[in-house]
Amino acid sequence: MKVRRTSTVFSLALTVLLTLSGCSLIDEKVKDCPEEITVTCSLNLNSNKDQEMDEKLGTEHDLPIREALEDYLQHVFVRSVHEVEMYFYDQRKRGKMTHEQHEIMDAGEREFEIRIPASDYRMTGAANVSAIPDVTLEGAEGNFEVLKLVQKNAKQLPTQPTAFFSARKRMTVRDQENQHYDVSFQMVNAAAALIINRDSCDVKSIRAEYAGLGDSFKILDSAFAFDNTTLIGTDEIDIVPYTGSDEDVSYETETWVYDVFWTRWKKVPLMVCGVGFPSPNVGSEVIGTYPKIWTIYLYVTMPDNTITRSEIYIGKPLQAGHLMIIKGWLTANGGFTGTPEHAPYTPDPGGPVFPPGPEPPEPPVPVNDSTVVGVSVALDWKDGITINPGL
């Protein structure tokens, strides 16, 4: 199937309409006489989501996984926001916040009116923050330099349920003059999905946590901080494979799940996804010859109720507004690996039967996903045990 590559650029226009209006004759000489200006705020979701989907899940045989992930992410990479808040800091009053505006959106476009006195302002804003229970906007009452989005400091937090955004803009509001400003709101958080082939392993359950991601974002500097060690949880996503009769199954147009990267699946893969602040851009620790930037902890509960924990080192940054898809395999003991040994496919006796005819060609040897730069595995893991390097 020919895959058409696209890039995602979602645009939500939030228009804050402020029309020129002078003060009355009584107060037109008052220093803080409000003026009305026009401010157009656009919520721009410039994401790599479609490109990442095409590269990692781009064949027709990947459709069951892609559809499941798309369905989950529709609540993350959103096309509208619930609310928008804007704070105006007066540069002529030492950066003091002199006006704030809170509006309900629930749409892709709306118009609002704002009246503020003529002055020089630094406007900072945020959108959809109220939809993230563990993130708050702090410092709004102080100077604009301290305004930031802050994640709750905890040992572990659940995955963030949706996207939230921030914006900043210099504005000079002049007396008795029609003015217009464009403000762009950008996505702050990011998503990462881990997809696992479990053909070689019997699994009772899995869970995963992400470590090394940010915990706050300073809007003025557009800078993330990494002060805490909070683990971000993930959601497990069910994959529903295509089904069909034996006559419907063929190498070219089979309805059973197949991917040349994975070889043929005997079992439906496992998938988890988590949303949080981005990772750093560079790693502070080198694993072998590659830097480790952030980490995934994968817990696999085996049929005998023992737990295998894999510490998966990720060598690529998770960027704001982006999706990262990571693929891998479970070994027989439940450990994760990004570079499995290739074994010829042998049909599952209970699996689909191919029609009579030539055997399909052997799928190519899987290629390592270079996103994973190293893995450490602990068998029969219990909380408090140190992981020793394994793979």
DSSP annotation of 67 reads: H
Same domain, yes or no, for 157 and 245?
no
- β pairing state of 111-112 and 8-16: parallel
Any domain includes 166? yes
Q: Are residue 257 and residue 174 in the same domain, yes or no?
A: no
Could you tell me which residues come within 8 angstroms of residue 316 by beta carbon, excluding any fewer than 6 positions away? 293, 324, 370, 371
pTM here is 0.81
Whole-angstrom distance, CA of residue 20 vs CA of residue 27: 16
pLDDT averaged over every residue in the chain? 79
Residue from 56, 64, 69 nearest 371 by CA = 56
Tokens read off for 266? 């005997």
- Report yes or no on 70 lying in a domain: no
pLDDT at 240: 87
Give the number of domains in the chain: 2
- Residue 4 is assigned to a structural domain of this protein: no
CA distance 355 to 248: 9
Q: Are residues 350 and 243 in the same domain?
A: yes
In a domain, 386, yes or no: no
User: Which residue spans within 26-92 are E strands per DSSP?
Assistant: 34-36, 38-47, 81-90
Phi, psi of 51 (to 5 degrees): -65, -45
Domain C-terminal end among 132, 161, 187: 187
Same domain, 210 and 183: no
Domain boundary among 137, 168, 187: 187
111 vs 11, 18, 20, 40, 58, CA distance in Å? Answer: 15, 9, 15, 8, 39
We report the CATH number of the domain holding residue 144 as: 2.60.40.2100
Same domain, 93 and 208: no
Same domain, 280 and 357: yes
- DSSP codes of every residue in 218-237: ETTTTEEE----PEEE-EE-
Is the four-CA dihedral 372, 373, 376, 382 of positive or negative sign?
Answer: negative
Helices (H), the chain: 49-56, 63-73
pLDDT exceeds 90 at position 385: no
Is residue 135, in this structure, part of any structural domain at all?
yes
Judge contact between 90 and 119, C-beta under 8 A: yes
Same structural domain, 152 and 207: no
Residue type, 380: D
274 inside domain = yes
Residue 250 lies in a domain: yes
Mark whether 145 and 268 lie in a shared domain: no
pLDDT band at residue 108 using 50, 70 and 90 as cut-offs: low
First to last CA, the chain: 35
The residue range of the domain holding 284 is 190-378
* Window from 61-65, 184-188, 278-282 with minimum mean pLDDT: 61-65
Q: pLDDT tens for residues 118-172?
A: 999 999 999 999 999 999 999 988 778 889 999 999 999 999 999 999 999 999 9
Q: What was the pLDDT predicted at 182?
A: 83
Answer with the one of 187, 217, 239 that is the final residue of a domain. Answer: 187
CA gap 270, 287 in Å, rounded: 26
**Could you report the per-residue pLDDT of 246-303, keeping only the tens digit for each?**
344 333 333 333 444 444 567 889 999 999 999 999 887 887 777 899 999 999 999 9
